[in-house]
Structure 1
């Protein structure tokens, strides 16, 4: 017999940016919310910790206390490191956060809004009934609700048990660490403008490495794209990461005196699920495959999807319509907002990483600051429809001129 210990309007599984954002907005609407996470908070999360300018604009409640530093520029290198594009501005192009602090801060905002939060508790199963949903916990308890939001990561239990997810032919796999430094050391090495670095196809690997300098640490990581059926071992990625770290130190791309941090790894979805809703269920964030495949930024999509999920759940509860047909509004909302951007970024990533094309494309882009500025504006402001054809036309013109030696 199922032991129901409590009842809520919405149970959210996963307290990352997607889950915490959904919880905050639902609680502000007077909805009774339980937010669950298997980890004890604060906790680390495999991520570069980059917030785009559009994220800061959309979620203006993100306070300075949650931001580690701002970046005013960056460099993207081709696989040979012979070519690169560079951006340096007088205003920030991104903010860097430490995920342990950032995610904890978002949860606290949800709690202040009225959310009930339980960490260190795993959801192990879900049962969808005609009149309610039941979420079973690893301590033997169960909770019931009108709706469930699955925000429990790329290998989401909610997605799997509901039959919605984990159909990923390819995933991103990464290793990273947050290397601590004194702030004055980073000010001297990266300046207060905290310029980030990205290295395409390091040592020929189908992916990229990054360096994200924060206030008093540097996030260094490398990721590769692989088939979910690949036999590539974790050990080989570990070796590649150490080779990458040696390369950065040897070329003085990071301060050479290092206090080792904790190397961590994780998986990232590279394509959204076909369906992110079912009877009484919504998926958002990594659980729905909502991540920018080009930049690896999942925070903006996760928080945006969390807001859309909250809006949809609130309407569903108010109208007493919790079936898949009504909840499909959620998928329409997020697809209209960032669906096309995800597709475009996926195509660009595939184009960059195929063969040796990155060498030519980075070389061409380095010769045309206007197209770089257009790409930056599109990336930071998210105005895909306005800029993509301008960029395509200019790039084709640049490609043709280069082909004929003009």
Structure 2
């Protein structure tokens, strides 16, 4: 019998596992992919993320997780009217594969057990414990007093538990060799509706030009991507010599009010699968903070599960407020997101 089974070794799951293991609790962290595992992401640690790494793990983000340019100096938004907004802020440019793997290693150092290449296929709250069916080399069952689901938006377990799916945004991005007349130290977001159905973006990782669009209708991905390339060629003299990789991903479609699903009974949700996501897909800081608060609530009220969800909601009140403010700001500068204001 584990005290906690945590599903998903991203920022939310690793932060929760590290916090719980440090308290001396018996923790199993499972990850469906082989570590280090890749995740489609801008890989920008905003200052808040950097501060949370120091707070929760007691260290600076290590150099080996980073890509060049290592320092991110902020974000530059172009709204639906073509007006530019610059936000200067300290940040880091990381590869999620290296960063998440480092976080998982820190959780193991504190005492968590880690099983990668292991999928959680089903779980059931049985009152005194949760039964979790796992599949790795074989299919088997483990028991835990609590389960913390941090799979991310593509996780199938929540759909089985809740019997429903939430809305998704499809993201598509490419990595390219070439050049462009933009400062590689910034992350650029474009909110013009003619370029995407949500947002488009550009940043640089290890001299590769990353260009992406997000859409509500997946069949229109190629159309908007080509429109965005044409825009970047015209406005910033983009030149692509070679495309090295293309990838698609999903992220939650955050709606007005920024509703969060904390879980049911002894099964808790954290990170993107709970609905914690900031504008432009910044989910690292929200994942870490929600994972920590879920772990803190469950550990503090371990023998009183009826109090855990309330404590978790209270612990994330400031995070929810921050998230709403961020979405409201974007709604205030661009008609595309006006419903979020």
State the TM-score, normalizing by the size of structure 1.
Answer: 0.72
Match of 1:122 in 2: 119
Secondary structure class of the residue paired with 1:256? strand
Residue number among 266, 269, 272 corresponding to 2:250 in the alignment: 266
Deviations 1:22-78 (A, max 9, x none): 111111111111111222222221221221102211221232332332122443223
Secondary structure class of the residue paired with 2:36? coil
Q: Which has the higher helix share?
A: 1
Match of 1:34 in 2: 28
- Are 2:7 and 1:13 aligned? yes
Secondary structure class of the residue paired with 1:153? coil
Match of 1:303 in 2: 288
Distance 1:262 1:217 in 2: 12
Q: CA distance change for structure 1 residues 324 and 96 in 2, over 3 Å: closer, same or farther?
A: farther
Deviations 1:123-153 (A, max 9, x none): 1111111221110023320111111001012
Distance 2:316 2:259 in 1: 12
Match of 1:218 in 2: 209
Q: CA distance change for structure 1 residues 245 and 263 in 2, over 3 Å: closer, same or farther?
A: farther
Q: CA distance change for structure 1 residues 263 and 158 in 2, over 3 Å: closer, same or farther?
A: closer
Residue number among 115, 122, 131 corresponding to 1:134 in the alignment: 131
Secondary structure class of the residue paired with 2:190? strand
Deviations 1:78-120 (A, max 9, x none): 3454x32334x5xx53222211221122112212222211112
Pairwise CA distance, 1:355: 6.4
Distance 2:99 2:297 in 1: 25
Match of 2:94 in 1: 97
Note if contact 1:154-1:269 (Cα within 8 Å) is conserved in structure 2.
no
Number of corresponding residues: 328
Distance 2:231 2:287 in 1: 33
Q: CA distance change for structure 1 residues 148 and 74 in 2, over 3 Å: closer, same or farther?
A: closer
Q: CA distance change for structure 1 residues 194 and 286 in 2, over 3 Å: closer, same or farther?
A: same
1:146-185 alignment runs, 5 A limit: 146-163=145-162, 168=166, 170-179=167-176
- Are 2:312 and 1:330 aligned? yes
Secondary structure class of the residue paired with 2:281? coil
| Greater Cα offset, 19-28 or 70-79 | 70-79
Match of 2:274 in 1: 288
Distance 1:343 1:274 in 2: 11
Note if contact 2:34-2:116 (Cα within 8 Å) is conserved in structure 1.
yes
| Greater Cα offset, 133-142 or 264-273 | 264-273
1:333-352 alignment runs, 5 A limit: 333-335=315-317, 337-352=318-333
Residue number among 223, 226, 229 corresponding to 1:239 in the alignment: 223
Structure 2: unaligned runs, 5 residues or longer: none
Q: Which has the higher strand share?
A: 2
Match of 1:71 in 2: 72
Distance 2:18 2:307 in 1: 25
1:305-324 alignment runs, 5 A limit: 305-317=290-302, 320-321=303-304, 323-324=305-306
Note if contact 1:48-1:221 (Cα within 8 Å) is conserved in structure 2.
no
Alignment root-mean-square deviation, CA: 2.8
Note if contact 2:196-2:225 (Cα within 8 Å) is conserved in structure 1.
no
- Are 2:189 and 1:203 aligned? no
Distance 2:32 2:108 in 1: 17
| Greater Cα offset, 24-33 or 274-283 | 274-283
